Amino acid sequence: MATFVDHVTLHLRAGNGGNGCVSVKREKFKPLAGPDGGNGGSGGDIVLVADPNVTTLLGYHRSPHRSSANGGPGMGDHRAGFGSELMELSVPLGTVVKDAEGNELADMTEPGFRIVVAPGGQGGLGNAALASLKRKAPGFALLGTYGWEGDIQLELKTVADVALVGYPSAGKSSLIAAISAARPKIADYPFTTLHPNLGVVDAGEVRYTVADVPGLIEGASEGKGLGLEFLRHVERCTALLHILDCATLDPDRDPLSDLDVILGELAAYPVPEGQKPLLERPQLIALNKIDVPEGRELAEFVKPDLEARGYRVFEISTVSHEGLKQLNYALAETVEAGRVAAAAAQAVKPRIVIRPKPVDDSGFVVKVEGGSFGNIYRIIGTKPERWVQQTDFKNDEAVGFLADRLAKLGIENELFKAGAIAGSTVIIGPGNGVVFDWEPTLTSTAELITAPRGTDTRLDDSKRRTSNERREEYFGRMDAKAAARAELIREREAGMWSTGEEEYNGDTLTGDGSVPVSPRKESTAE
């Protein structure tokens, strides 16, 4: 079972913001005392914290899915929704945080370093916060926005002063066990060390850390063996200690050839920008296993050649502890010199200049994209995307409020400049986003429109008639009336009906007892 993990992918989901509340205060003798809807609470952030007491990413390897709580919705009587607490995730020192595409976000090398990797959603405003002199009782509230959701990568690069490098089974684990309190697994087969081991060493008044990392073979910089798993943990070290096996049983190996292979792999590994190449860092050599007679002879034979190359060489034995004290103090001296140089470099670091936002930065971009039925105009920007999330599209007044906000931001003008016309397809946000059929008439003055709460007369389907349309409708009605009068006159002249002003004659009755009706004669003017 794994006990050390140095690379994981976290699946994070920050909490959503709570929705604002739509409420109107009602009291005795005050049926409409004004809006009193409270704001929604914010969702919880997810924060990474560099903790010196954490040494592995094993906990996140076993449970990579993490989510924070949502914010509470607002309530009436000006009661705001509860805000969720942030979630803190502790990571070891030396953890590099990357996004899903592998872009570096932060390098957590300082204790207590914090970074918000998944911000929570923003709570929506209630109708009390949206009220103004012209909009006294809004019939809508803003919705809470979604929290960040996605993947991040955590890559652990061991932070140590000295890295022990060498072939498998060269004695690196035995050395760190001999000079510190670390107890790594030690066996007589290659690649016993599968993950870095850290040990703290005291040399007089100097205390430093030593990293025992997996063994190195030829081709490690290309991923052979444990390759990159080894080299990743060498990046952060101040000095390198080459452990050369002087008692190897492999006839094709010797300390000089082993050193050449190791140097070639260190030279081929690219370090991050701003760091020293591995071969430019202080390097010492320890010729190990001199407790074996053949090993001592070989160490004495190759030591002059190594010193001629400019290295400080120490003959040691991790079994008898011979030569370890001299090596310990030499390493402490090298580490102390590196710390002094690092402090001087820190003192002359350039100042960080924070530049304000440009005055001509509108905060959004209009992109024209081709489509099957004409151009599509996509709006990308933090504010428009957030405003769309906050809008309740079932409420006409909320939609009108969104139209006013977008127009005041200048989106209408930018769409005109981009060539959009009435009816053009507009998408706000990346991907599928929110699709609109753009109507440039929805521009402003929502506060001045008198309509029931929750409605906006600008969004009604009724269309205002023009003067020509009204004139044509009037003439049509007049023609219909004239045709009806002409028909009545024709029927009357044909004797089909009378006006009812006939002369009554009591002697003349019809068979059913009613008085017969005769057509009325109209007099014409001479």
pLDDT tens string 445-471: 444 455 666 776 666 655 667 888 888
Tokens encoding 190: 């290659």
State yes or no: 99 annotated in a binding site.
Answer: no
- Please report which confidence band the pLDDT of residue 189 belongs to, taking 50, 70 and 90 as the band edges: very low
Q: What is the pLDDT of residue 184?
A: 56
- How far the first Cα of the chain sits from its last, in Å, is 125
State yes or no: 519 annotated in a binding site.
Answer: no
Choose among 116, 26, 124: nearest CA to 77: 26
Alpha-carbon distance of 190 to 169, in angstroms, equals: 5
State yes or no: 298 annotated in a binding site.
Answer: no
State yes or no: 250 annotated in a binding site.
Answer: no
- Please report which confidence band the pLDDT of residue 215 belongs to, taking 50, 70 and 90 as the band edges: low
Say if CB 164 and CB 184 are below 8 A apart.
Answer: no
Alpha-carbon distance of 321 to 330, in angstroms, equals: 15
Q: What is the pLDDT of residue 513?
A: 45
Alpha-carbon distance of 240 to 232, in angstroms, equals: 14
Strand-pair category, 425-428 with 434-437: antiparallel
Residue ranges per structural domain of the chain? 7-156, 162-348, 360-484
State yes or no: 173 annotated in a binding site.
Answer: yes
State yes or no: 169 annotated in a binding site.
Answer: yes
* Average pLDDT of the residues in 256-260: 85
What percentage of the chain exceeds 90 in pLDDT? 23
State yes or no: 291 annotated in a binding site.
Answer: yes
Q: What is the mean pLDDT of the chain?
A: 80
State yes or no: 200 annotated in a binding site.
Answer: no
Q: What is the pLDDT of residue 229?
A: 57
Alpha-carbon distance of 244 to 254, in angstroms, equals: 8
Residue 183 reports pLDDT greater than 70: no
State yes or no: 4 annotated in a binding site.
Answer: no
State yes or no: 310 annotated in a binding site.
Answer: no
State yes or no: 170 annotated in a binding site.
Answer: yes
- Please report which confidence band the pLDDT of residue 322 belongs to, taking 50, 70 and 90 as the band edges: confident
State yes or no: 172 annotated in a binding site.
Answer: yes
Tens digits of residue pLDDT in 32-86: 788 999 999 999 999 999 998 887 788 898 899 999 999 999 999 999 999 999 9
State yes or no: 325 annotated in a binding site.
Answer: no
Residue 149 reports pLDDT greater than 70: yes
Alpha-carbon distance of 319 to 177, in angstroms, equals: 10
State yes or no: 11 annotated in a binding site.
Answer: no
- Sequence-ordered list of residues with C-beta below 8 angstroms from that of 482, at least 6 positions apart, any chain: none
Q: What is the pLDDT of residue 265?
A: 77
* Average pLDDT of the residues in 310-320: 88
State yes or no: 77 annotated in a binding site.
Answer: no
The H or E element containing residue 126 is none
Q: What is the pLDDT of residue 227?
A: 45
Choose among 115, 213, 129, 127: nearest CA to 164: 213
- Please report which confidence band the pLDDT of residue 505 belongs to, taking 50, 70 and 90 as the band edges: very low
CATH code for the part of the protein at 360-484: 3.30.300.350
Choose among 243, 259, 241: nearest CA to 331: 241
State yes or no: 112 annotated in a binding site.
Answer: no
Q: What is the pLDDT of residue 235?
A: 77
- Please report which confidence band the pLDDT of residue 517 belongs to, taking 50, 70 and 90 as the band edges: very low
Domain spanning 7-156: CATH superfamily: GTP1/OBG domain (2.70.210.12)
State yes or no: 318 annotated in a binding site.
Answer: yes
Choose among 165, 168, 224: nearest CA to 194: 168
State yes or no: 174 annotated in a binding site.
Answer: no
Tens digits of residue pLDDT in 269-287: 777 776 778 888 888 998 8
Q: Write the secondary structure of 193-251 as one string of H (helix), E (strand) and C (coil).
A: CCCCEEEEEEECCEEEEEEECCCCCCCHHHCCCCHHHHHHCCCCCCEEEEEEECCCCCC
Most confident stretch, 52-61, 156-165, 454-463, 477-486: 477-486
State yes or no: 258 annotated in a binding site.
Answer: no
How big is the chain by its Cα radius of gyration, in Å?
A: 43
Q: Do domains 7-156 and 162-348 have the same CATH topology?
A: no
State yes or no: 292 annotated in a binding site.
Answer: no
State yes or no: 257 annotated in a binding site.
Answer: no
State yes or no: 166 annotated in a binding site.
Answer: yes
CATH of 162-348, one of 3.40.50.300, 3.10.20.30, 3.40.140.10, 3.40.50.620: 3.40.50.300
The H or E element containing residue 436 is strand 434-437
Alpha-carbon distance of 117 to 86, in angstroms, equals: 11
Amino acid (1-letter code) at residue 352: I
Residue 319 reports pLDDT greater than 70: yes
Residue 259 reports pLDDT greater than 90: no
* Average pLDDT of the residues in 334-345: 81
